[in-house]
Amino acid sequence: MSILHRLHPHPKSRKRPKRVGRGPGSGHGKTSGKGHKGQKQHGHPPRPGFEGGQMPLIRTIPKRGFTARSRPRFQVLNLSDLERIKSDGVIDTARLFEHRLIDSLRVPVKILGDGEVKKSLHVKAHAFSRSALEKIQKAGGKCELLTEKRR
C-alpha cells in the first residue's frame, strides 16, 4: 500500500462549520444568532455609509479639489540609493531593476537629490530633480533623459 493511501489531515486541523438553526439545544437555534426582526436579520444589510435615513457623513462634508488624470506617476530614487550600486558605468532602468531599487520597468523613474555622489555616474532616467542634476554633474557624471513611450 502506497503512502498516498495513508495521508490524512492532522487531528484538530479541520474545524467543522458551525451548524446554526438546529433547535434550542444547540445554542444557535431559532434566529441563528441574527437577533429578532429587522433589515440585517432578513439578509439585506444596508449599503456602506447608510445611516438609517439620516444625512450620511460622507454627503455632509464638502468636496475639495480633484485628481488630474494626466499627472505622471514616478518611481522615485535618491542619490544615496544610487551609491549602493558598486561598479561605475551606465546606470539605467534595467540596472536599477536588477539591483531591486525599482519595482517595475514600465513606470518612469525620477532621481531626487537626497544624498551625496562620490563617484562620476552616467545615469539614465525619465526625470531628475534640479539638486540631483547639479550633484551628479558636479561629481563629473552625466544625466541622460529617457523619453521612451510608456506601455
Query: 75-145 adopts what CATH topology?
Result: Ribosomal Protein L15; Chain: K; domain 2 (3.100.10)
SS3 of the chain: CCHHHHCCCCCCCCCCCCCCCCCHHHCCCCCCCCCCCCCCCCCCCCCCCCCCCCCCHHHHCCCCCCCCCCCCCCEEEEHHHHCCCCCCCEECHHHHHHCCCCCCCCCCEEEECCCCCCCCCEEEECEECHHHHHHHHHCCCEEEECCCCCC
For the cut 90, the answer to whether the pLDDT of residue 84 exceeds it is no
User: Whole-number mean pLDDT of the chain?
Assistant: 89
Contact 146, 93 (CB under 8 A): yes
Specify the pTM: 0.55
**Tens digit of pLDDT for each residue in 126-143?**
999 999 999 999 999 999
Contact 144, 136 (CB under 8 A): no
Domain ranges of the chain: 75-145
Q: What pLDDT score was predicted for residue 112? A: 95
CA–CA separation, 24 and 45 (whole Å): 26
Q: Where does residue 114 rank: exposed (0-12), middle (13-18), buried (19+ CB within 10 A)?
A: middle
Better-scored residue on pLDDT, 38 or 113: 113
CA–CA separation, 82 and 101 (whole Å): 9
Q: What pLDDT score was predicted for residue 108? A: 94
Could you give the percent of the chain with pLDDT greater than 90? 60
Confidence of residue 104 (pLDDT cuts 50, 70, 90): very high
For the cut 90, the answer to whether the pLDDT of residue 97 exceeds it is yes
Could you give the percent of the chain with pLDDT greater than 70? 96
For the cut 90, the answer to whether the pLDDT of residue 87 exceeds it is no
Q: What is the mean pLDDT of residues 81-106?
A: 88
Q: Where does residue 121 rank: exposed (0-12), middle (13-18), buried (19+ CB within 10 A)?
A: buried
Sign of CA dihedral 50, 55, 67, 73: negative
Better-scored residue on pLDDT, 45 or 148: 45
Q: What is the mean pLDDT of residues 44-72?
A: 90
